[in-house]
Structure 1
Amino acid sequence: MKDLIGKAILDYQTNNAPEDIITETSLTEADSMSVAYLFRDYSEMPKIEQKALQMAKGKILDVGCGAGSHSLYLQQKGLDVTAIDISEHAVEACKLRGLQNVSVQDVMTLSEATQYDTILLLMNGTGLAGKLNRIAAFLQKLKALLTPGGQILIDSSDIIYMFDEDEDGGKWIPSNVDYYGELIFNVRYKGEQEDPFDWVYIDYNTLQNAAHANGLQCELLIEGEHYDYLARLTHLKL
């Protein structure tokens, strides 16, 4: 990976002529996003993110922290937060912003010696699994990092609305995809093209079924304004 999103984040933090990030998926045409959006404060965050931050407690792990806005808010509140991201540039920007406990780390290789009371996966946290057939391993890893009374706060969207309807009112989904929420993402920044990567949006019912299959209780906390939602996963009580 060329870490183009991380480069954009670091450019913005260091005033190095940041430009918009251009994203395109296997389902959508090219769209631009101002990198400033990743630096928003609490008042500018969607209600789903605000709700997750309100519920965060204990020892907190922020997975895929990006520019660090969520972790910085929690740190400023005096909470014990550890932030990780696979992007070296993003982590460098987080440190420059004053985030104290942040490192370059893939959650799938994170040591299970330390467990957390709250694990945050925001801005479509299910996307980090990449594909639906990887969600079981993903949830098992998160479960192993969770204290017995801990919680996983994760958001996603049901993107079925993006597909055309047929005459019977059903959705027309291409036969060459295993699950309609699976996309291939392409990112461009300052004329460079990122290597394509897998990303998955998971509807709530599918996430709930996957959670139960992997020993986790799943609760719908809040729905957003555009088919998005925040879920809370906890250890399944036997």
Structure 2
Amino acid sequence: MPKEWFQNWFNSPFYHILYKQRDTEEAELFIDNLCTYLKPGEHTKMLDIACGKGRHSIYLNKKGYDVTGIDLSYNSIKYAKQFENDQLHFFVHDMRKLLYINYFDFSFNLFTSFGYFKTEKEHVSALKAFAKGLKKEGKLVLDYMNSQKIINNLVEKETKNIDGIDFHITRSVQNGKIVKTIDFYKDGKNYSYKEEVNDFKLDDFEKLFSLSGLKIEKLFGDYHLNEFDINSSDRLIFVCTKI
């Protein structure tokens, strides 16, 4: 059975080269703002879903929390494991499958690490797994792109030169998905990868959450936790409570 696009791309070293400019300060600011809002107590148990190489998990752990990071990418988890300690653990795990039941106080799914699957059933399965893993009245933070703003301002073609590689990127909207193709040449070989993310909007998430045992508590539009505006906000950030 052929692998899904995210299994190939996220496990590739070129994924981390293309996105290595992601702002660590911005990520830490977002975590700081979330913690100010959520007010987690001592020994709070947290799950970082689709944690990548663990930058959010590591920072949360430095703030004193018991953190578990999961990701489908073996290479990312292999890298993250070097940072493990008594209160920081990483596992290769598919978010559509349950990890623990009634265990975490908070779960985080950050930087548009959702919306990859082909069917509504798969997305609901993932959200149900998130919800079942939470303790009673536990909270999920899901950080998604504001797909409406992206579609309104779609950059159809661009080239980024990073570490001597010209990444040729094209974007389009196809069948309810924002599709990005990434083509480049390296060491005598041509490479081509794809990202396909559902252009979920607020009403789509309201439906998905209602099917999954989650209730929206608060909605934010950026990493400073300002109010969400469909036309101007960069992000669509949900704080959901387990029902």
TM-score (norm 1): 0.68
AA aligned to 2:60 is: L
Q: 1:123 corresponds to which residue?
A: 111
The structure that is strand-richer by fraction is 2
Structure 1 unaligned runs (5+)?
13-19, 22-32, 166-172
The equivalent of 2:33 in structure 1 is 51
CA apart distance, 1:108: 1.7
CA separation of 1:46 and 1:78: change in aligned 2, threshold 3 A: closer
Shift of 1:204: 2.2
User: 132, 136, 139: which is aligned to 2:127?
Assistant: 139
Please give the alpha-carbon distance, in whole angstroms, between the structure 1 residues aligned to 2:39 and 2:63. 11
Q: Which letter maps to 2:241?
A: T
Alignment of 1:1-238 (within 5 A): 3-8=8-13, 20-21=17-18, 33=19, 35-37=20-22, 40=24, 43-45=25-27, 48-54=30-36, 55=38, 57=40, 58-98=44-84, 100-113=88-101, 115-129=103-117, 132=120, 134-163=122-151, 177=175, 179=176, 182-187=177-182, 191=186, 193=191, 196-224=194-222, 226-236=233-243
Relative to structure 1, is the Cα distance of residues 189 and 56 closer, same or farther in structure 2, using a 3 angstrom cutoff?
farther
Letter in structure 1 aligned against 2:148:
I
Aligned equivalents of 2:150, 2:53: Cα separation in 1? 28
1:72 offset after TM fit, Å?
0.6
The residue type paired with residue 205 of structure 2 is L
Pairwise CA distance, 1:153: 0.5
The offset of 1:77, in angstroms, is 1.4
Residue pair 1:128, 1:199 contacting (<8 A) in 2 also: yes
Give the drift of 1:183: 2.8
1: CA distance between counterparts of 2:137 and 2:184? 42
Residues 59, 81 of structure 1: 8 Å contact kept? yes
TM-score with structure 2 setting the length: 0.67
Q: Secondary structure at the match of 2:22?
A: helix
| CA-CA distance at 1:195 after TM superposition | 5.3
Q: C-alpha separation between the residues in 1 aligned to 2:199 and 2:144? A: 6
CA distance in 1, matches of 2:121, 2:127: 11
2-structure distance, mates of 1:114, 1:235? 10
Report the alpha carbon displacement of residue 202 of structure 1 after superposing the two structures with TM: 2.2
Task: Give identity over the alignment, percent.
Answer: 17
CA separation in 2, counterparts of 1:220 and 1:84?
25
The aligned length equals: 202
1:211 to 1:52, Cα distance in 2 relative to 1, 3 A:
same
Q: Secondary structure at the match of 2:114?
A: helix
CA distance in 2, matches of 1:131, 1:82: 27
Please report the RMSD computed on the Cα atoms of aligned residues, expressed in angstroms: 3.4
Unpaired segments ≥5 residues, structure 2: 154-171, 223-231
